[in-house]
Amino acid sequence: MGNESYGKKRFKRSRSHFADRITADGRDGWPVEAGRYRLVVSLACPWAGRVLVARRLLGLESALSLGITDPIQDDRSWRFTLDPDGRDPVLGIRYLSEAYEAREKDAPGGVSVPAIVDVPSGRLVTNDFQQITLDLATEWTELHRPGAPDLYPRALRAEIDEVMEDVFQDLNNGVYRAGFATGQEEYESACRDVFRRLDALTRRLAGRRYLVGDTLTEADIRLFTTLVRFDAVYHGHFKCNRYKLSENPVLWAYARDLFQTPGFGDTVDFDHIKRHYYRVHRGINPTGVVPLGPDTDGWTTPHGRERLGGRPFGEGTPPGAP
């Protein structure tokens, strides 16, 4: 998914090799332009899931087209076998690696999603999963829908950044450090970090609806894409099993609140999520058997978080139907 390597010693997530930015002034050579770029994602990937949520909330669907890969990779990584003739209908390629190779032959870091590709040239622009959503929120504003929320408000950025960094280190990335640990001590350290952060988030969210301020922000998006995968894959597959998300009343209600908010749950595909993790990670799950559970019906049950107030979209409005 996002720049992962599984060494003999410990799991490591590398920085994105292609960190060009698509900006309003085009300072990296890539100006914001409706229809010029294609976003490529796997519905299984939490890092790609962030971009899907941001794209929906900001109303960028018509400006930034979407290609979806098969959740199962082969030796050339992400492939477009879900599309007719096994080719992305816009880029005309069978593998995302072709866009990487068009940009730089034998580039380090592997082929990861999310990725944004320049349609006219067929070249990869960026796979910087940490920056893409921030730029969609701040550089693509002229193409936002009317009523789009401010997901990265300037006055709250320092607090948002601090919260996101803690969540990334201990939770977003922590579940992978636990899941791909090759030693008991390494696993226990990572797993403790995961639940230490979940416990801290429980305290933070017990009396407030959202992580920062009283509206949805980038911080909520980044937490959601890990929480929504927790019981389905991280609890069992990655051995993060001190408790299930559904056993934590505060975080389970918070996650359901987001899931039921337009732009969040409608980007989630539990089938893709489970098939990718359980069938691709053969070092952890050698049989490739995909579990039937957990039951996902609970995601649509009442959450009661409205009592905490908050304005999901601030002065804006919800996005329309997908």
Neighbours of 205 (CB within 10 A): 21
Closest CA to 148 of 26, 1, 284, 262: 262
Q: Which of 37, 45, 191, 240 is catalytic?
A: 45
**What per-residue confidence (pLDDT) applies to 222?**
98
**What per-residue confidence (pLDDT) applies to 10?**
58
Edge-first strand order for the sheet with 65-68 is: 65-68, 37-41, 115-118, 123-126
Say what the pTM is: 0.96
Characterise 266 by phi-psi region: left (phi > 0), alpha (psi -120 to 50), beta (else): alpha
232 with 281: CB under 8 angstroms? Answer: no
Instruction: Spell out the domains of the chain, with CATH numbers in brackets.
Output: 4-143 (3.40.30.10), 154-308 (1.20.1050.10)
End-to-end CA distance of the chain: 24
**What per-residue confidence (pLDDT) applies to 5?**
47
Beta strands in the chain (DSSP E): 4-6, 11-13, 37-41, 65-68, 115-118, 123-126
233-245 b/e (C-beta count within 10 Å ≥ 16 → b):
bbbbbbbbeeeeb
Task: Tell me which residues of the chain have a pLDDT lower than 70.
Answer: 2-15
Cα separation of 131 and 140, whole Å? 13
Q: How far is CA 24 from the centre of its chain?
A: 23
191 carries an active-site annotation: no
Closest CA to 262 of 306, 205, 312: 312
Identify the sign of the CA torsion 212, 213, 214, 216: negative
Q: Which of 176, 210, 277, 278 is catalytic?
A: 176
**What per-residue confidence (pLDDT) applies to 15?**
66
**What per-residue confidence (pLDDT) applies to 7?**
42
**What per-residue confidence (pLDDT) applies to 169?**
97
